[in-house]
A and B are shown apart, each in its own frame.
Chain A
Amino acid sequence: MTIVTGKAEARRRVQPGRSGALRRIWQHRADYAYVLPAIAVMLIVIAYPIYYTVELSFFKTPPGLQLRDKTFIGLDNYTTILTSQVFWKVTWNTLIWTLGSTFISFVLGFATALALHRDFIGRGVLRAVLIIPWVISAVAASYIWKWIYHSDFGIIGAVLVGLGLADQPPNFIDNVSTVLPSLIVVNIWREFPFAMIMMMAGLQTVPDQLLRAAKVDGANAWQRFWHVTFPHLRNVSVVTMLLLAVANFNSFIIPWIMTGGGPSNASHIWITHIYELAFGRQRWGVASAYSVLLFLTLMTLGYFYVRALSGNERKEGSA
């Protein structure tokens, strides 16, 4: 809320020659003063790192030299990235990781939310239990799953061998074909409760009278879901999926702790590859160029997220 004092009003009157935008800023100077500290902090901790990363992406930073000894090479880092085989492999991994994790987490979360929306004994307990994976630290979860999957003495392998279902423990994370799907399973296990909570909140907004009216009109369960429930959840679904996609694109902890991107780069996604390039191999320039590409991708997703949110607001405003 803006409180306009008499003095401020008087000052506004004595600034006749200002252009429109400047005048509006001057008129709202008190508002700007309130948000100035936050803007200053954001400029230091967000804007400057972004600027510096973009700048660094145009420089060669040989691993044997200090960062200050960098040399300007224009777009060479971007060319290096886009023409390297590893980039396309890592990009493919990132797409599988992001789309697989996002879509399956959402579907599983939505299905669980629908199941928990019904009234039954123990619903509260079940809700609490299902949220546990989401509240567990990702680092702890990664270590636990690493042991569950362990190719020699993991729990899954021991159970399968014990029950006579396999001769040898399955190789989950030491195999180039199975490592990424195995990590996606862990990610889904950790993320689906988030989708569940979002969709449960969304389900609360579906008008009960509409569902009852549809039932009176003879609509079966599927028809009620498809024609009444789902349209009401469209916006929350879009927002949930976008949030999941952004989180997955940026997801570092699970792949890094469980496999470090291996074996043979089979579980490297953009963010882990950037980390290795920067901190393991000290290719700060190339890593920065990668980061700029990642930033642009995430900004695109962010744009759609904001659009989805404003779409919601417009709808609510017109309702």
Chain B
Amino acid sequence: MTRIALGSAVLRGTVATALIASLTSTSALGAPPVDLSKWSPEYVRSIAGTQDFDTAADCAKVTPLDYKGRLTFWYQGVFEGDPDLLRQYYKDFFETFRKTYPNIQLEEQALTYNDLLDKFRTALLGNAAPMAVRLQILGGTEFASKGYLQPLKPEDVGYSTEDFWPGAMKAVTWEGVTYGIPTNNETMAFIWNADIFKRAGLDPNKPPATWDDVVKYSKQIHDKLGIAGYGLVARKNAGNTPYRFMPQLWAYGGGVFDEATPNPTYEQVQLDSPQSKAALQASYDMYVRDKSVPVSALTNQQADNQPLFVAGQLGMMISHPSDYNVMLDLQKKATGTDKDKAQTVIDNMRYGLIPTGPDGKRAVVFGGSNIHILKPEYVEGGKVDEPAAKAIICMWTSPEWSLKMAYAGSNPGNLNGFKTKWMKERLDNIKFLDVTTSMLPYGIPFPALPQAPEIMNIIIPDMLQNALTGAMTVDQAADDAAKRVRELMGGL
């Protein structure tokens, strides 16, 4: 297992001081629960397990526990690429909610990431939406800007805005009004198979430092071993594609707009900049020139890379810490010699920071999900049971459940989740968690624009596919994508 360097004693001292300061400050006093300026794996370890929370008691202040009502609720649930561990936590959450609020008749529906937006949009057109919904981070501004969502801020369910990541709050804010609460936030990491590295003549404990190295390593693995080097994903209408390509785009200094800058204005389209084209060229080099990535990348999503990785047929990929648990699940299902092969892969699984661009810029998508309440006119029956909706939102965004529901895959939306005993337990149980918490400060949110889902789910994958299939040159594909974004922003 690769760990991030612990830093100097001076840094430890600073962290300890920050910890004391953090522990002595509480949300009640208006100070943030976690000092983000001191963020590091060590800091996260130091605050884990330092505070107890009583979720039922906290939520009772928002909606009395004997409240009688009815709630329809849709959520982005677990899918084939998630570990069994996460399935169990989702099951536990709904059981606990029903026990905590026995008089709320809950009608929940789980939808996969790739289906949720389409189904939710359709339901809204027919005024048949659920009363509350948990959407991917991309969806918040689209539905807020169109007026489908009710204003909703953390204070409405007993928390403080400072309890949540500032970047995540931006994704639920439209024209200065907050329309939702983040449930979880995630940054992915770089995963590699040390055994494959060794056999390909690479240093097994050293991940590629830059994206140019990724291209080089991928070729070396493919040329030496005849297997795929890097797990490129370029499927259309699949969230996995932008989550893997955008870090590359930003690292090279490109972007859709200026979303990678501290104060983005989203005014200038930059997809056709030389930096953006260099990022696209790197994908082209791997797929077309070197043929060092899976041929199936154009129809693949991450769930297709996982079996390849556990079978020892893939050297590197970008994913969550949960992929380690997914590998364990897949290994359990394997039989005969496949089981041993899978164990070898698991033993050689390594996590590191996502590579930088040529100028040392490191970036990752600041992802996650948000929870929202709909306006009554768009809901089936024309009524929203607000206390019931706030009850489930209070529970899901609580320190306890925002941590548990993100147990293996991402991080709690509520920063107080990092202080719970479950975070401490998680740090002991989930391997490689340090790496993804280390990536959080490099997180860049998707553009907080209503057009973001179309840009990320359709235009970016189209650009990749146009370049990788030879339908267009790299320059043409980038120019075409930039033109489409400009047209989209112009209301066409």
A64 interfacial by beta-carbon distance below 8 Å: yes
B121 touches A279 (CB 8 A): yes
C-alpha spacing A173/B307, complex, angstroms: 19
C-alpha spacing A63/B489, complex, angstroms: 10
Q: Which A residue's beta carbon lies closest to that of B291?
A: A168
B136 interfacial by beta-carbon distance below 8 Å: no
Among candidates B118, B451, B468, B469, residue contacting A279 with C-beta atoms closer than 8 Å: B118
B466 touches A264 (CB 8 A): yes
Consensus secondary structure, chain A interface: loop
C-alpha spacing A259/B309, complex, angstroms: 22
Smallest CB–CB gap between B239 and chain A, Å? Answer: 13
Other 20 A-B pairs with CB < 8 A, given A66-B148, A174-B298, A264-B469: A63-B454, A64-B451, A146-B299, A152-B294, A152-B296, A152-B308, A153-B307, A153-B311, A168-B295, A169-B295, A175-B469, A262-B298, A262-B465, A263-B471, A265-B462, A265-B471, A266-B471, A276-B237, A280-B458, A282-B454
B122 touches A176 (CB 8 A): no
B295 touches A152 (CB 8 A): yes
B299 touches A63 (CB 8 A): no
B308 touches A262 (CB 8 A): no
A65 interfacial by beta-carbon distance below 8 Å: yes
Number of interface residues of A (CB under 8 A): 32
A153 touches B299 (CB 8 A): no
C-alpha spacing A152/B308, complex, angstroms: 9
A264 touches B465 (CB 8 A): yes
A260 interfacial by beta-carbon distance below 8 Å: yes
Given A280-B457, A281-B458, answer yes or no on A174-B297 (Cβ-Cβ < 8 Å).
yes
A173 touches B294 (CB 8 A): no
A67 touches B125 (CB 8 A): yes
Footprint of B on A, CB under 8 Å? 62-67, 146, 150-153, 168-169, 171, 173-176, 258-266, 276, 279-282
Among candidates B148, B299, B308, B457, residue contacting A174 with C-beta atoms closer than 8 Å: B299
B228 touches A152 (CB 8 A): yes
Given A64-B451, A64-B491, A282-B121, answer yes or no on A150-B145 (Cβ-Cβ < 8 Å).
no
Q: Which A residue's beta carbon lies closest to that of B122?
A: A279
Within 8 A of A (CB), among B438-478: 450-451, 454, 457-458, 461-462, 465-466, 468-472
Q: Which 6 residue pairs are nearest across A and B when measured between Cβ atoms?
A: A151-B295, A264-B471, A263-B298, A151-B296, A279-B118, A264-B465
B299 touches A66 (CB 8 A): no
Smallest CB–CB gap between A174 and chain B, Å? Answer: 4
Chain B residues contacting A265 (CB-CB under 8 Å) are: 462, 471
Contact with A along B166-194 (1 / 0, CB 8 A): 00000000000000000000000000000
Chain A CB count within 10 A is highest, among B125, B295, B308, B466, for B295
A-B contact pairs, 5 of them (CB 8 A): A63-B454, A174-B297, A262-B465, A264-B465, A276-B237
Among candidates A63, A67, A174, A276, residue contacting B295 with C-beta atoms closer than 8 Å: A174
C-alpha spacing A62/B142, complex, angstroms: 12
Smallest CB–CB gap between B267 and chain A, Å? Answer: 16
Given A67-B125, A151-B295, A151-B296, answer yes or no on A263-B468 (Cβ-Cβ < 8 Å).
yes
B146 touches A263 (CB 8 A): no
C-alpha spacing A175/B298, complex, angstroms: 9
A151 touches B235 (CB 8 A): no
B372 interfacial by beta-carbon distance below 8 Å: no
Given A152-B228, A153-B308, answer yes or no on A64-B146 (Cβ-Cβ < 8 Å).
yes
C-alpha spacing A176/B466, complex, angstroms: 10
C-alpha spacing A128/B182, complex, angstroms: 54
Given A152-B295, A276-B458, A280-B458, answer yes or no on A63-B451 (Cβ-Cβ < 8 Å).
yes
Q: Which A residue's beta carbon lies closest to that of B141?
A: A64
Given A174-B296, A174-B299, A280-B458, answer yes or no on A260-B146 (Cβ-Cβ < 8 Å).
no
Given A171-B295, A279-B121, answer yes or no on A264-B462 (Cβ-Cβ < 8 Å).
yes
B313 interfacial by beta-carbon distance below 8 Å: yes
Smallest CB–CB gap between A111 and chain B, Å? Answer: 32
Given A174-B296, A279-B121, answer yes or no on A63-B236 (Cβ-Cβ < 8 Å).
no
C-alpha spacing A313/B461, complex, angstroms: 52
B488 interfacial by beta-carbon distance below 8 Å: yes
